[in-house]
A = this chain, B = another copy of it.
Amino acid sequence: MFAHNKRLQYSVHVSECNPGLANLMLEQFGGPDGELAAAMRYFTQALGEDDPGRKDMLLDIATEELSHLEVIGTVVAMLNKGAKGELAEGVNSEAELYRAINGAGNDSHLTQILYGGGPALTNSGGVPWNAGYIDSRGDPTCDLRSDIAAEARAKIIYERLINVTDDPGVKEALGFLMTREIAHQQSFEKALYAIQPNFPPGKLPGKAPFSDMYVNTSQGQGDMRGPWNSDDNFQYVSNGDTYQAMDGGDGMPSVQLSGRQKECVQAMQQRTRSNPNGNPTTGAELGGNA
Contact = CB atoms under 8 A, between A and B. Distances in A.
A168 to B, nearest CB: 10
A269 B195 CA distance: 11
Given A82-B261, A135-B33, A217-B67, A274 B160 contact: no
A103 to B, nearest CB: 5
Given A126-B127, A247-B176, A286-B286, A274 B186 contact: no
A100 B261 CA distance: 12
Contacts of A47: 70, 73-74, 76-77, 118-119
A278 B228 CA distance: 10
A24 interface: yes
Nearest to A204: B159
Nearest to A47: B73
Interface in A245-275: 245-247, 249-258, 260-262, 264-269, 271-275
A44 B121 contact: yes
A218 B59 contact: yes
Copy number in the complex reads 6
A91 to B, nearest CB: 7
Interface in A1-40: 1-17, 20-21, 23-24, 27, 30-33, 36, 40
Interface in A96-153: 97-99, 101-107, 109-110, 112-142, 145-146, 148-150, 152-153
A2 to B, nearest CB: 5
Given A98-B164, A124-B114, A199 B287 contact: yes
B215 A60 contact: yes
Nearest to A250: B11
Contacts of A223: 6, 56
Contact of A77 (B77, B84, B253): B253
Nearest to A59: B218
A111 to B, nearest CB: 9
Interface centre among A17, A47, A140 (most CB of B within 10 A): A47
Nearest to A243: B5
Nearest to A267: B89
A265 B166 contact: no
Interface string A181-194: 01101111111111
Contact of A276 (B1, B104, B172, B225): B225
Contacts of A283: 148, 189, 192-193, 199, 282-283, 286
Given A98-B164, A113-B124, A9 B1 contact: yes
A284 B117 CA distance: 26
Contact of A280 (B4, B180, B253, B286): B286
Given A1-B70, A45-B118, A183-B213, 8 more contacts: A6-B218, A13-B255, A16-B256, A17-B257, A31-B114, A94-B163, A135-B135, A192-B274
